[in-house]
Amino acid sequence: MNSNLDSDKQRAGATIRCEAVSRSFSGTGLVLDRISFQVEPGEFVAVLGPSGSGKSSLLRLTAGLDQPDRGQLVIEAASGAPSRGFVFQDATLMPWRTVLRNTTLPLELAGWSRADAVGRASEELRRVRLAEFGARYPHELSGGMKMRTSVARALTTQPNLLLLDEPFAALDEPTRHGLQMQLREIWLALGMTVLFVTHSVTEAVFLADRIIVLSHRPARLLLDHKVSLPESRDAELRTSLDYVNEVRRIAAAMPVSGEAS
Amino acid sequence: MTLRARLASWLPPLLPLIVSLGVAEVAVRLAWVPSYLVPAPSEVMQSLFDDRVELLLAAWATLSSALAGLALSFAAGTFFAIALSSSDLARRAFYPYAVFFQTVPIISIAPLLVIWFGFGQPTVIASAAIVSVFPIIASTLLGLKSTEPALLDLFKLYTASSGQILWMLKIPFALPQIFSGLRIASGLAVVGAIVGEFIGGGGLGSVVDAARTQQRIDRVFAAVLISSLLGVVLVGAVNFISALSLGSWHSSERNSS
């Protein structure tokens, strides 16, 4: 990790206030059922739930890509208007743009000059250790590198809320573990609020300081749990007793597949 | 590429051509087929050489009309497809007419074009444009409508304007389909130009028509051969531009390069 970049813990986190939010869709019916929780500035929260439970719908609502039918979801930042970064399940890179130009996209859309955008994006590419790959096209990258590009793109606007939708689900285990540690380091360095959606208990426990468990659809809040693990997490933590106990505790709260909730 | 590899690549398409030309030559020379129906390939070659100036001028006239018609249909077709893609209501209202327009045989409306545009190149260009516009509309529309939803979400997340979504996302995403439509349209533009020349005069269409009335079947074949070559040249030019534009990132061009 670049030490110059580590020092810029400039991004005050946003607050998320989710108050009795419900959302239904034609075809699937009620997906989210009166979900309430609050995320404090700078928290790393994992939203855990079985596949199809409505985790991604909740994340889309938080991103402002969708609106709740009932209840309200408010994002506030002390520094003014909250800015969001989103990392999708797939890397969603534009194949006709190089890694660098994919990373500059949010800044170009915001009207930045090319030179400024390139400078800012290069900084984030260095942070995710892709500085030498700026001229490559997405088809020339591995799955993990694509996802790191996607993370760098989300960081270019210096968001105070970073939303991630199962970003590492399609990756092999060593790559996934590496990226988890990298994401945790980025969060420790920058201090933004993170909402991380996953269906993996081990991933949620390793990454987050707080875990929200959702039930099967229609999703209700089953558990809001504070993770008792040290701030700095490395590969050894995965074999520690504390970690295993946390995993057991969360796994016990997870709805069993096929169980009606 | 080694000589053996070159032979392996060229021989399969060349062999049927050489054999059929040989059979045609023998068949005409031995009078199995009357030469007023099918000319001997050697006679066609002779005609190509003897009438080279006239044929080249006619080919140039046809090519320039086809290119102008293609440019017109590309501009109009792309504009129409963008307009249709931006509104479901517009698509439902106008797309059926675009489909209907495509089914009208050009030969039946060519006389109308003469009434509207007079004899000469404007009629030929209009004919080339009408014949080639539908593939451009259909392919461009398909491309614009197939933008990846997650990428659209990404642009919405950063509150991109509709202009930014169109120019920075939808059009680049649609480029492979746009080139696919242009490839079909470029061949059709030559067909449309020649049909237009049958009625409006000039170019290879007139050469074919005049040679037919003079019973010069060898010249008809020579002109047909050149018009086919024009189509090949136009499609080749589109392929070249497509490879330049998509070669660095799209799988279709990467695999073929």
For chain B, state the CA radius of gyration: 22
Confidence of residue B209 (pLDDT cuts 50, 70, 90): very high
Domains of chain A: 39-83+160-261 (3.40.50.300), 93-158 (no CATH)
> Does residue A230 register a pLDDT over 60?
yes
> Does residue B77 register a pLDDT over 50?
yes
**Highest-confidence range of A76-90, B89-103, B219-233, by mean pLDDT?**
B219-233
> Does residue B1 register a pLDDT over 70?
no
Q: Is B104 within 8 Å of chain A by CB?
A: no
Contact check, Cβ <8 Å, B157/A84:
yes
Contact check, Cβ <8 Å, B153/A86:
yes
Q: How many CB atoms lie within 10 A of CB B153?
A: 16
Q: Is B254 within 8 Å of chain A by CB?
A: yes
- Rounded average pLDDT over A117-128: 95
Q: Give dist(CA B61, CA B190) in Å, integer.
A: 11
In B106-169, alpha helices (H): 106-117, 121-145, 149-157, 162-164
Mutation for A interface: B148, B152, B153, B154, most A CBs within 10 A: B154
Choose among B148, B156, B160: nearest Cβ to A65: B156
% pLDDT > 70, chain A: 94
- pLDDT of the residue at B33: 85
Helix axes B121-145, B106-117, angle to 10 degrees: 120
% pLDDT > 70, chain B: 97
> Does residue A4 register a pLDDT over 60?
no
> Does residue B101 register a pLDDT over 90?
no
Contact check, Cβ <8 Å, A95/B249:
yes
Cβ–Cβ < 8 Å for A64, B157: yes
Contact check, Cβ <8 Å, B150/A86:
no
Distance of CA B59 to the CA centre of its chain: 15
Q: How wide is the angle at C-alpha A176 spanned by C-alphas A174 and A177, nearest 5°?
A: 65
Choose among A65, A94, A109: nearest Cβ to B153: A65
Q: Tell me what the pLDDT averaged over chain A comes to.
A: 90
Q: Which residues of A touch B (CB under 8 A)?
A: 60, 63-65, 84, 86, 88-90, 92, 94-96, 105-106, 108-110, 137-139, 157
Instruction: Out of 3.90.1150.10, 1.10.10.1590, 3.30.2010.30, 1.10.3720.10, select the CATH number for domain B46-254.
Output: 1.10.3720.10
Query: How high is the ipTM of this complex?
Result: 0.88
Sheet holding A84-87, edge to edge: A84-87, A161-165, A193-198, A44-48, A210-214, A221-226
Contact check, Cβ <8 Å, A94/B157:
no
CA distances from B31 to A87, B36, B238 (A): 75, 11, 42
Confidence of residue A5 (pLDDT cuts 50, 70, 90): very low
- pLDDT of the residue at B133: 94
pLDDT tens per residue, range A136-188 = 999 999 999 999 999 999 999 999 999 999 999 889 999 999 999 999 999 99
Q: Beta A221-226 vs A210-214: how paired, if at all?
A: antiparallel
State pTM to two decimals: 0.83
- pLDDT of the residue at A1: 40
> Does residue A8 register a pLDDT over 60?
no
Confidence of residue B250 (pLDDT cuts 50, 70, 90): confident
Cβ–Cβ < 8 Å for A138, A96: no
- Rounded average pLDDT over B42-64: 93
Q: Give dist(CA A143, CA A91) in Å, integer.
A: 8
- Rounded average pLDDT over B28-32: 87
% pLDDT > 90, chain A: 79
